[in-house]
Amino acid sequence: MYQSSVDGTDDAIRYEWSIGIEGMPEGEGIFDIKIEPVWYDVGLDKNLTICTNQKLPLQHGYSYVVYVRQWVSQTTYTQFASAGILVDYTPPLVRKGKFVKESIDSCLNDIEFSTENTTLTACWKGVFSDQQSGILHYFVSLGTIPEGDDVMKSENIGLLETKRWTGLSLNQGTKYFVTVMAVNNIGLSTSSYSDGVVIDFEKPVNGVVFNTIYHRNIPAQAADKVIGSSWHGFNDRHSFIKEYLVALFECDGQSNLTSLRYVNVGLKTKHQFKGAPLKHNRNYCIAVKAIDAAGFESNVSLSTPLLIDKTPPKGIKCTSYEVTDFAFIERQIHDQGLELIGPISFKKDEFLKFKINLDHTAPEICCGDIAFTYKETENTTMTSVSMKWAVIDAESGLDFCILTLGIPCTIEKLLGVEYKIVWDNTFMKEEDLVYTVNIGTAEGNADLIQNKRSTETHAILDIENTDEIFVAIEAKSETGLTCNYRKMMKIDV
């Protein structure tokens, strides 16, 4: 149905009307112009209502024009045409790649975290379109769920494409969503909502910082071109750690922490300061702070001081050294020219493990440049060993040496034919060891487990039809150093 009226002049003797698609002959799209009349007489009436033919309904996306002929004599008329009116049956569209954004300022970027709990801005420039009838107005709301309005009720804000709320009291750790409903000129609507913003106005918790890249502190080092650092324990409750800032500074006197030159290392949790001008007999500290996704900085955490000592350390000589037969012993010797002589007793099958660190390179998980001699005396349950070992290369500064007692791997029967092999204390305690496990029913075979890589210190497998298995485990440190362990184990069936 279409309504139209015309302002005619008084000298008209009658009017005729027609209607059709804009830019086409009069009547086209409304009448079958080959067989139907196109012009209709209405006498001197100045308005009319047209019901379109069901066979030719008004078509979506087309513009229609009403024509009027004002006859002033039997042979003379003036023709008028209305402005086109576009037919629209569809609600507004959401443009591809456009979305409702949250912002705290100019709407350049959508934010996922905000440090503001009283204000929030929403923006939806170019998000909605309606080619046919156009947008009439927008409704906008704020809620804790998509399409929700539990924080701010839906509000008609005309054709504005941003909304700034103030005086809010948003909760920390809660995600808020903006919903915008676009209404077109024929009353059809479409809504779209933002991907949310979490409120976070708490700085991250700071962690612990170490003066090596191995998550432990050392008191001194001889190297003067590089200092390592590592850290852990930084955390954020409401968002997450986005990046770390690290700085190296001399910390002998009063240090001004506000003027440190930080390096942004992203999400890495270790960093090496290379080529740093490190002075002999001075202490250096590492400062680390974390930044959360909302942009808050944590407090600064400092490592313990590290002394740069380029003079060679004096050798020590231990005349007696004992590994008791019940304890897991760990000794650290910060010196070089090490010589340990003495009786050591340990149980049958137990063995000595070394972890040494030369020149502050990565710690090895087996033996390094160490020579040792020992003499065994057998009795039924104990092996008594006299040992002497020393660092062969006295030039390389021995940083530390850890000596521990290795416990052989064990086998435990579970249900049925299921067994558990455990190598908890077989290798050096090192967080980042990766094990490659091979287990077979004959020496050199891997028919039960082949090249299984794991960070766990156990394996569970089915063992049938054999009374012994051969276990070979290779442990690999983060720095690529390896240590091998092999054992034949009897199966208790």
Least Cβ distance, residue 210 to Ca ion (angstroms) = 24
CA distance 282 to 251: 8
CA distance 156 to 154: 7
* Angle 341-345-349 from CA coordinates, rounded to 5°: 125
CB atoms within 10 A of CB 254: 5
Select 206 or 336, whichever has its Cβ closest to Ca ion: 206
Select 238 or 355, whichever has its Cβ closest to Ca ion: 238
Please give the span between the terminal C-alpha atoms of the chain, in angstroms, as a whole number.
92
Select 102 or 161, whichever has its Cβ closest to Ca ion: 102
Least Cβ distance, residue 20 to Ca ion (angstroms) = 22
Sort strands 2-5 and 47-50 into parallel, antiparallel or unpaired: antiparallel
| Token output for 284 | 């250096």
| Token output for 445 | 């075979």
- Contacts with Ca ion, residue ranges (CB under 5 A): 88, 90, 102, 110, 112, 130, 132, 195, 197, 200, 202, 236, 238, 292, 296
Least Cβ distance, residue 329 to Ca ion (angstroms) = 44
Grouping H, G, I as helix, E, B as strand and the rest as coil, residue 258 is: helix
**Contact yes or no for 307/279 (Cβ under 8 A):** no
Least Cβ distance, residue 131 to Ca ion (angstroms) = 7
| Token output for 303 | 């490592």
Count of residues making up the chain: 493
Least Cβ distance, residue 232 to Ca ion (angstroms) = 18
Least Cβ distance, residue 173 to Ca ion (angstroms) = 9
Least Cβ distance, residue 346 to Ca ion (angstroms) = 51
Least Cβ distance, residue 335 to Ca ion (angstroms) = 45
Least Cβ distance, residue 140 to Ca ion (angstroms) = 15
CA distance 458 to 12: 104
Q: Which residue has the tokens 């037919």?
A: 87
CA distance 257 to 249: 9
Grouping H, G, I as helix, E, B as strand and the rest as coil, residue 337 is: coil
Select 200 or 399, whichever has its Cβ closest to Ca ion: 200
Q: Which residue has the tokens 């959401």?
A: 94
Select 195 or 350, whichever has its Cβ closest to Ca ion: 195
Select 163 or 360, whichever has its Cβ closest to Ca ion: 163
Residue 150 CB burial class (10 angstroms; 0-12, 13-18, ≥19): exposed
CA distance 301 to 206: 6
Q: Which of 427, 430, 421, 424 is nearest to 459 (CA)?
A: 421
**Contact yes or no for 97/144 (Cβ under 8 A):** no
Select 292 or 364, whichever has its Cβ closest to Ca ion: 292
Rg (CA), the chain: 42
Q: Which of 126, 120, 157 is nearest to 140 (CA)?
A: 157
Select 197 or 340, whichever has its Cβ closest to Ca ion: 197
| Token output for 103 | 């912002």
CA distance 333 to 370: 14
Select 185 or 482, whichever has its Cβ closest to Ca ion: 185
Least Cβ distance, residue 391 to Ca ion (angstroms) = 49
Select 149 or 369, whichever has its Cβ closest to Ca ion: 149
Least Cβ distance, residue 127 to Ca ion (angstroms) = 14
CA distance 349 to 164: 74
Select 253 or 266, whichever has its Cβ closest to Ca ion: 266
Select 6 or 87, whichever has its Cβ closest to Ca ion: 87
CA distance 471 to 463: 13
Least Cβ distance, residue 166 to Ca ion (angstroms) = 19
Region of 304 on the Ramachandran plot (φ > 0 left; ψ -120 to 50 alpha; else beta): beta
